[in-house]
Each structure stands twice: as structure tokens, then as C-alpha cells.
Chains A and B, each alone.
Chain A
Amino acid sequence: MNNTVLYIFLGLLVVSALLTVMIKNTLKAVIALACTSVILTIIMFIMGAPLAAIFELSVCAGLVTAIFASTISLTDNPTDEESAEKNKKRLSRYVFLPIIIVVIIGIMFITKPALDFTWFTNTVAEDTLQNTIWHVRNLDIAGQIVVILAGVFGIVTLLKERSKK
């Protein structure tokens, strides 16, 4: 039962990702991307990763959508003539996508890559999430702080007014 629900949501994830790349309007594509994030959140809940799922839901479905929407609103939309011209060429762009998917998945079925992850498992018993975040991988937290600071300074540098000009 649980597996069936998981497979349904995996299918929905692929459909939603396809919609994201195929929708013409960029704002609608961003909303489809948020839907993809929500479906991925549900999959992560089913697979037993609730904390990462909440991060995915709040950051990827919320903050990322807001960043995209503000970027789209700050950059003008193309005129109707341009978009009509693009619309003709747009669908022909995806002709090769199903062919590539069939070829790569066919190669995977023929070669059957060994997905053996057991070589790095169970050397230690699984730790609690709290202990892993704050003690085992505490350097990650320091790295995240540096990355966030770098991002903040980057945005400030990019968007500041050039007063001398």
C-alpha cells in the first residue's frame, strides 16, 4: 500500500517536472516548479526524512518561488510578437527529449548498473538526527554560515547603486 502511494507520487513528480520545462509562461513554470517541490516533500515524508522535507517545503516551495517571481517581475516580459515567434519554435525543441529518455533508460536496462551502496553502511549504528547535525557534521553548519554570508555580500554588491556614476 505504502509503495503504491510512493510510486504514484514518483510518477506525479516526473509529470510535474515535465510541465515545469514545457509550460510557455515563465511564471506558470515557476508555479509548476513549486508543485514539484511539494510532491518531492510528500515523497521525502513517505521515505522517512521529515526534517529535510520541511526544509524542502519551506525553502524550495516558498522562498525559491518568491525569488523567481520577483526576478520575473523585475525583468519585462517579451512582446506578443516575440512570444508568438518563440511559440512556433518551442515545441520542436522537445522532439529529441523522448528519444534521449528511451535511449538512456534502454542502456540502463541492458547494462544494469550495480547500485550497491552497502560497502559504506553500518560501520556504526545510525545516529540520531540531532546528534548528527550538531556533533558529527558540525563543520557543515560552519560551511553553511559562510555560504549564506557570501550570498548576502554577493547580492549587496550586485544590487547596490553606483553613486559615483
Chain B
Amino acid sequence: MLTIIFLTVVLLYIIGFYYLITTRNLIRILIALEVLTKGLVLMLIYVGKVTEQMATAQTMVITLIIIEVVILAVAAGIIINIFNRTDSLDTRKIFRKNK
């Protein structure tokens, strides 16, 4: 059965993936990952509600959020390092400079 919540999740996935593919700014790639994660969180809560196992779903969401923040912090550090070395956040310019 298709529900509106599932359609919302699919829309968030499409928006996130499309932006991830089309953008060339490193910070915006991280923003696209965040949008994808929002869809995943909504999906987990939806499944928890459908299966009446909301406690398990909530623990999984908490784990997901913690992993997401750690990945984001490390990625931000990498981006700052890349900017300090190449003076650019554009993936094409960084590729050209490292060629």
C-alpha cells in the first residue's frame, strides 16, 4: 500500500540524490547527504509505527543521528583542509589542480 509518508520519503530521496549528483560544491554535497538522511529517519520512524516497534525504531534513529554527526564533523575537517590547500571548493577546480 502506498502511503503519503512513503511518497514523502521517496521525494526526499530523489531530491537528495539529484542534488548529490548535480552539485559541485563540497559543502553542498554534505547538505545533500543531510537531506538523504532526513528521508532515512522518516522511513525508520514510519516502519516503527507500522510494525508497532517504536522503541526499536527510536534507538536506531538515535544511532543514525550520532553516526551522521560524526561523519559530518570529519567531512567538514577534510573540506577545510582541502580548501586550505587548493583555495577552492569546486570539485572540478580541485581535480584540475591536482592533475
Contact = CB atoms under 8 A, between A and B. Distances in A.
Query: Looking at chain A, what size class is its interface with the partner chain?
Result: 35 or more
Interface in B50-78: 50-63, 65-74, 76-78
A71 B76 contact: yes
B76 A121 contact: no
Contact of B69 (A13, A64, A71): A64
Interface residues of B, number: 67
B27 A26 contact: yes
B56 A136 contact: yes
Contacts, number: 203
A60 to B, nearest CB: 6
Contact of B80 (A37, A44, A126, A159): A159
A19 to B, nearest CB: 10
Given A21-B32, A40-B42, A126-B55, A59 B69 contact: yes
A17, A59, A94, A105: residue with the most chain B Cβ atoms closer than 10 Å: A17
B55 A67 contact: no
B30 A68 contact: yes
A56 B64 CA distance: 10
Contacts of B38: 13, 17, 36-37, 40, 60
A42 to B, nearest CB: 12
Contacts of A37: 38
A67 B6 CA distance: 30
B11 A14 contact: yes
A97 B19 CA distance: 9
B7 to A, nearest CB: 7
Closest 5 CB pairs of A and B: A151-B70, A158-B77, A52-B61, A132-B55, A121-B51
7 contacts: A17-B12, A101-B14, A113-B2, A115-B1, A121-B52, A129-B55, A159-B81
Interface of A: 6-7, 10, 13-14, 17-18, 20-21, 26, 29-30, 33, 36-37, 40, 43-44, 47-49, 51-52, 55-56, 59-60, 63-64, 67-68, 70-72, 74-76, 93-94, 96-97, 100-101, 104-105, 108-109, 112-113, 115, 117-118, 120-122, 126-129, 131-133, 136-137, 140, 143-144, 147-148, 150-151, 154-155, 158-159
Interface of B: 1-8, 10-12, 14-16, 18-19, 22-23, 25, 27-28, 30-32, 34-35, 38, 41-42, 45-63, 65-74, 76-81, 83, 87, 89
